[in-house]
Amino acid sequence: MRNDELLTVAEVMARLRLSRSTVYDLIRTRRLPSVTIGRCRRIPASALGDFIAEQMERAA
């Protein structure tokens, strides 16, 4: 089991400087993996890092 920080949607919004609806769209389309704990949606920090790296590769 990996020890991974879980980020809130608000934290991801702040880090990517995206709107709430855009972050939820990324989650809905499975471009940004997430987990649900109770009623809370969390994004693993490693998943966010992978997403950013993928976007950087596409831009290159």
The letter for the amino acid at 25 is: D
d(CA 46, CA 60): 21
- Which sequence spans correspond to the domains of the chain? 6-59
- Yes or no: say if 46 and 36 are a contact pair by the CB < 8 Å rule: no
Q: Tens digits of per-residue pLDDT, 9-49?
A: 999 999 999 999 999 999 999 999 999 999 999 999 999 99
Q: Is the dihedral of CA 26, 48, 36, 1 positive or negative?
A: positive
Contacts for 8 with CB less than 8 Å, ≥ 6 apart: 40, 41, 42, 43
Give this prediction's pTM. 0.88
Supply the CATH classification number for the domain 6-59: 1.10.1660
pLDDT of residue 1: 43
